[in-house]
Amino acid sequence: MTERNWQEDMDKVNAFKHARSCVNIPKYQTMPSIEPPYEPLEYWLQQYAALEREYERFQQVAKGWNDDLTAAESLIQQKDAEIASLRSGIEKAIAEYELHEEPGAAAECMWQILYTHGTGDTP
């Protein structure tokens, strides 16, 4: 099927709509070529169907992206909660062991807490 120009088809529709017959077409306007009405209709319905299929495909892709985004947001929330828990634990340990004045001691204490109280393994 050949490509059609929607504007030309619309101009033909408007010419026929306003003229209603060949006698009423203004003299400066040429009579549009007469073709069976099903040809443009068939073409544009096929174009519509193709666009509809493309739209449905894009909807599926967008749904996949949305699912990925939801999973990423969930993971971010989980990691934020883990960071908050770690920060709270560190602040509690610093306060409990009174390590405010010696940062080196705080780091050593954190090292000991992580590896002696967590898994029992020391690196």
List Cα–Cα distances, 122 to 60, 72, 92, in angstroms: 50, 34, 22
Domains of the chain: total = 1
DSSP-derived letter for residue 113 is I
Q: Which two tokens stand for residue 110?
A: 């954190």
In a domain, residue 10? The reply is: no
pLDDT score, position 19: 64
In a domain, residue 109? The reply is: yes
In angstroms, the CA 18 to CA 74 distance is 60
In a domain, residue 114? The reply is: yes
Which range, of 49-63, 75-89, 97-111, averages the lowest pLDDT? 97-111
In angstroms, the CA 79 to CA 117 distance is 22
Per-residue pLDDT, averaged over 23-40, amounts to 63
Please count the other Cβ atoms lying within 10 Å of the Cβ belonging to residue 115. 13
**pLDDT tens profile 1-21:** 678 887 887 777 777 766 655
Domain enclosing residue 79, as ranges: 33-118
**Confidence class of residue 22 from pLDDT cuts 50, 70 and 90?**
low
